Structure 1
Amino acid sequence: MSERPVRRVEDYTGTCLVLRALNLFWMLVALMLTLGWPAVLVTAVALDAGLRRLRRAPVRD
């Protein structure tokens, strides 16, 4: 293999976060259109509870 200099890569964190938000949005819209608002509310509460639980979890090394 040829030795090439290691260069800095672009940071795609912002792009990734925007795409995750768009994916969540269209999934919730599809859920609302098929099952209605109660399903969206239950899903949102479940996602919120799961994220809060992950935030409280101890970090393992």
Structure 2
Amino acid sequence: MDDHKQGTAPNYTNACIVMFGVNITWILVAIWAIWGLIAAFLLALGVNHLMDRMRAWAAARQAASIRRGKQV
């Protein structure tokens, strides 16, 4: 008999979002200190564009999944 019940896994979404913000902040500050504000600004623009593209890819994937009759 197995007396050990498995519970649900903890939700680390908020911790992940906060740590992403902390990490991107110190990376941008380090780039700013080494190469200047323009390099940090260009990196921030690149990351923003990548995040927008990922959002569009996810929406297209979800729409294709719904057309096939599956929920993502």
Tell me the TM-score normalized by structure 2: 0.71
Number of residue equivalences: 60
Structure of greater Rg? 2
Whole-Å Cα distance in 2 between the matches of residues 40 and 19 of structure 1? Answer: 19
- Aligned-residue offset at 1:29: 0.4
Structure with higher helix content: 2
Gaps of 5+ in 2: 66-72
Amino acid at match of 2:26: W
Question: What RMSD in Å do the two structures reach over aligned CA positions?
Answer: 1.8
- Aligned-residue offset at 1:9: 2.8
Gaps of 5+ in 1: none
Give the fraction of aligned pairs with identical amino acids, expressed as a percent.
23
Question: Could you list the runs of 4 or more consecutive aligned residues of structure 1 that deviate by over 2 angstroms after TM superposition?
Answer: none
- Aligned-residue offset at 1:20: 1.0
Whole-Å Cα distance in 2 between the matches of residues 12 and 25 of structure 1? Answer: 20
